[in-house]
Amino acid sequence: MNLRAKAVRAAWSQFMIVVSGLCAGMCGAVLAIVVAYVIGKGIKAINWTFFTKLPTPVGVPGGGVANALVGSIEIIVMASLAAIPVGVLAGIYLALFGRGRLAALVRFFSDVLTGMPSIAIGMFAYALVVIPTGHFSAVSASVALAVIMLPIVVRTTEEAVRLVPTMIREGALALGIPAWKATLMVTVPVARPGIVTGVLLAVARVAGESAPLLFTAFGSQFWSRGVGQPTAALPLVIYTYANSPYADWQQIAWGCALILVVLVFALNLTARLAFSSRVAAN
């Protein structure tokens, strides 16, 4: 009797282990299905004109999304220029000097900010930049994306700097190097792979963001005429064309989706490689 009860319990345990494995497997399967679908639909749209030409009206063949590609890059680069320096400095502060209640508060609200809806952050950029300047612009989109990037860069930089052994830094200080120099020229270079990982992850996160661009970059059918003007971006092209009833426009949406997925995955995998090479070096 006792033995049988034990066998039942062991069998139940085995069964549930398989079930939990299936849960993990399902996540992988969903990813595979979505990615396969995007590749299957998107690959047909990809050709040379897709990358080099402007969009054409419905029915006119040979349109591309060159302006959206350039617009996306423009917006992301400007956002990075704003968010990365500030985020890295804040992360260094939290890791090296961040004791006390206020630092804990900064840490806490960075985490909270990571969870804020991107569309609300887009509204913020709209209210902050678009309303006062009077028109949609690439700059306002960059403000929104920078806000999204900032907490990610802060927290990953903090992690990376925290991992640097204090001995290295103390060695530098013992040689009489000022603290700021020891930080920037000794601690930060050692932590660099981790910081790069964080930056790449932050860029990957915002590269596919579409909600905040709706009220800021707004989208455009033409080349951008400057950072203060409405600008096309890949995620916006997907949104606009996904809702259209025309097959060739939907096709372009799938092409853009494929580009975004490839870009985001490449950034994620590179980030992971950059990090694992650091682990290997230790």
Site string for another protein, 112-131 (x = CB under 8 A): xx-xxxxxxx-xx-xxx--x
Nearer to another protein, 9 or 52 (CB): 9
Regarding 68 and contact with another protein (CB under 8 A), the answer is no
Q: Which of 188, 195, 144 has the alpha carbon at shortest distance from 164?
A: 188
Question: What residues from 15 to 34 belong to the interface with another protein (CB under 8 A)?
Answer: 16-17, 19-28, 30-31, 34
* Interaction of residue 253 with another protein, rule CB under 8 A: yes
**Cα dist from 88 to 61, 166, 188, 274, 278, whole Å:** 46, 18, 10, 17, 18
**Which string of x and - marks every residue 203-242 that binds another protein (by CB under 8 A)?**
-xx-xxxxx--xx--x----------------x--xx--x
Residues sharing a CB contact under 8 Å with residue 143, sequence separation 6 or more, in sequence order: 79, 82, 125, 128, 129, 216
**Per-residue x/- track, 135-154, another protein (CB under 8 A):** ------------x--xx--x
Structure tokens at 276: 């694992």
Of 10 and 52, which CB lies nearer to another protein in the complex structure?
10
CB closer to another protein, 21 vs 171: 21
Which tokens in the block code for residue 166?
A: 């204090």
Helix ranges (DSSP H) in 116-137: 118-125, 131-133
244 binds another protein (CB under 8 A): no
Q: How far is CA 85 from CA 90, 106, 155, 258, 266, in A?
A: 9, 17, 13, 30, 23
Closest CA to 204 of 145, 116, 258, 263: 263
Q: Minimal distance in Å, beta carbon 203 to another protein?
A: 11
Nearer to another protein, 155 or 278 (CB): 155
Candidate residues 51, 97, 222, 246; the one interacting with another protein per rule CB under 8 A: 97
Out of 49, 251, 268, 270, the residue judged to bind another protein by CB under 8 A: 268
Helix (H, G, I), strand (E, B), or coil: what is residue 136? coil
